Amino acid sequence: MSTVKENGMDLPIAIRSSRLATKRRVMLLVGLCVVSLSGCANMTPTQQSALSGGAIGAAGGAVLGTVVGGSPAIGAAVGGAVGAAGGALLSQNGQ
């Protein structure tokens, strides 16, 4: 088995490569969060409410779809659409 030294320990190459893959995923996730949050700076309150309603609805729909035994993707799509519509309508009624 091939090994490589990391922090004074001999690790199999597979473990080292999985650690690098995990670090890359974390960096990609952080980058996506930064980009997505910076896009919300110039939104109207109605758009912000629709976006947050859609995100909450998508998360809830995915969880509900998994719990019920259906498809999490379909649950997320339906929940996101309903949440976005609800967030936009509630925002317009509140103004």
Residue segments in the chain with a per-residue pLDDT below the cut of 70: 1-7, 9-20, 95
Dist CA 45 CA 91 (whole Å):
7
How high is the pLDDT of residue 81? 94
What's the domain count of the chain? 2
The predicted-structure confidence for 30-42, as pLDDT tens digits, reads as follows 888 777 777 777 8
Same-domain status, 93 and 47: yes
Question: What pTM was estimated for this model as a whole?
Answer: 0.57
User: What does the buried/exposed string (b/e) look like for 10-34 if buried means 16 or more CB atoms within 10 Å of the residue's CB?
Assistant: eeeeeeeeeeeeeeeeeeeeeeeee
Same-domain status, 19 and 48: no
Same-domain status, 31 and 3: yes
Domain of 32, in residue numbers: 1-38
How high is the pLDDT of residue 29? 85
How high is the pLDDT of residue 5? 66
